[in-house]
Chains A and B, each alone.
Chain A
Amino acid sequence: MLERFERAGGLPFARVEFGAIAREVCLAYTPEAAVGDYVIVHVGFAIARLDEEAARRTLALLEEPAP
């Protein structure tokens, strides 16, 4: 997430980077998202903040030997 701003109707928006491109995304459902956070975006809305710790844990699962 790059920067926050407001648009018509008082809705909070952000400029979000998707790799090498950027787009405007509505933050109404993730108002706590801060610049620098990763978000999951669907049809122009951020629907969740990405939990980076959880992502690391999922990948770490594979470092352990299979049960």
Chain B
Amino acid sequence: MRYVAPFRDRARIREVAARIAAACTRPWRVMEVCGGQTHAIARHAIDALLPAQLELIHGPGCPVCVTPLAVLGAAFELSLRSEVTLCSFGDMLRVPGPRGDLLAARALGADVRVVLSPLDAVEVARRCPERQVVFFAVGFETTAPATAMAVELARRLALDNFTALCAHVRVPPAMELLLAAPDSEISGFLAAGHVCTVEGVEAYPAIAARHHVPIAITGFEPLDILLGLLDVVTQLEAGAATVTNRYPRAVRAEGNPAARAMVERVFAIVDAPWRGLGVVPRGGLALRDEFVRFDALARHALALTPAPEPAACRAAQVLQGRLCPTRCPEFGRACTPETPLGAPMVSSEGACAAYYRYRAAGLSR
């Protein structure tokens, strides 16, 4: 693929890593909030290329990890209803809910199917009018337009057997919340590139100014991540706090207006709970009244029941960037990818899973 290989080129990566090392004279803590970036950093072992004073912390960038436990419980319950076909992205299937994960539900007889797009779920509804299809709609602003279009399509096709279990969340309000914490030690941010492809850069200058943090909009190939870091470090060293676009091949200042318009038509911005962060003001999306017949909880008369978090799991602190997974007492002991205590260890983009995979980097040979 033409525009991927050059952004994984070893020589260029080493060049930028060297420039970061040269520029960095003080300790800085830079947070990324994109599951794709967490994954890329783990897979390409980018952490190992950075100078010791530059700490790259992982924020709540994994949509799987921030989906509230109560919502996971609702997905589980709905899937067990004999008339329901639950369609979900693959990464949600192994997150343990209050009664187990969706694979366990499948073993109990639930009809759970993996889809790669919300439109696939609409297609299932169209082809199987006797099934009640529930699409498990999780994701950030990058994914919300797809769900919005799926709901709109269901409306156009007059489907009465398609609903969405909505748990979409919005990233900038969560960044604000983290920065506003009195003991926040975040020096700068890498903003999620694909979220910005849709949303544009509008939300960030205010955040940068209010909290005096540089923000670089960053892609998720290794070179993109390093270029974003170089920019943030350069700004930090100079005392600057502006918003820059280091992913111009995919992000335009205005984002994708058509996608945003559809989201605005179908969804309203609401205060929403993020697992690990608590309620984030204006941090989520909910279906507007005129689309409520496509809301799974409303259609199936199910209320969200608050569920207690597993006592030993410190995912909240990890998601807030306050605890490095390797310092969690359960890491690698009670909590492993086979026996996860929480979402960040089971999601392929979760920080705990990422550290688990490359925990032995730098071991002596």
Contacts and interface: CB of A to CB of B under 8 A. Distances in A.
Direct contact of A and B (CB under 8 A): yes
Interface of A: 8-11, 18-19, 26, 28-31, 38, 40, 42-45, 47-48, 50-52, 54-55, 57-59, 61-62, 66
18 contacts: A9-B157, A28-B258, A29-B259, A30-B256, A42-B146, A43-B117, A43-B118, A44-B116, A45-B117, A45-B145, A47-B197, A47-B256, A48-B251, A50-B249, A51-B250, A52-B3, A62-B12, A62-B15
B1 A47 contact: no
Interface string B152-167: 0100110000000000
B16 interface: yes
Contacts of A43: 89, 116-118, 139, 143, 146
Contacts of A58: 227, 246, 248-249
B249 A18 contact: no
A62 B17 CA distance: 12
A44 B117 contact: yes
A11 B262 CA distance: 14
A31 B142 CA distance: 17
B125 to A, nearest CB: 11
B22 A51 contact: no
Interface string B206-235: 000000000000000000000100000000
Contact of B22 (A18, A59, A62, A66): A66
Contact of B6 (A30, A45, A59): A59
Contacts of A18: 1
Contact of B259 (A8, A47, A61): A47
Contacts of A57: 248
Interface of B: 1-3, 6, 12, 15-16, 19, 22, 89, 116-120, 123, 126, 139, 142-143, 145-146, 149, 153, 156-157, 194, 197-198, 227, 246, 248-252, 256, 258-259, 262
B258 A29 contact: yes
A8 B22 CA distance: 55
Contacts of B157: 8-9
Contact of B197 (A9, A38, A40, A59): A40
By DSSP majority rule, is chain A's interface helix, strand, loop, or mixed? mixed
Most buried by B among A8, A26, A30, A58: A58
A45 B146 contact: yes
A48 B3 CA distance: 14
B89 A51 contact: no
Contact of B194 (A30, A40, A61): A40
B120 A44 contact: yes
Nearest to B159: A9
A36 to B, nearest CB: 12
Contact of B3 (A9, A11, A50): A50
Contacts of B198: 47
Contact of A50 (B89, B118, B250): B250
A28 B227 CA distance: 31
A48 B194 CA distance: 9
Contact of B2 (A29, A38, A47): A38
A59 B156 CA distance: 44
Nearest to B219: A58
Contact of A66 (B19, B249, B262): B19
Contacts of B256: 29-30, 47-48
B21 to A, nearest CB: 11
Contacts of B119: 11, 26, 44
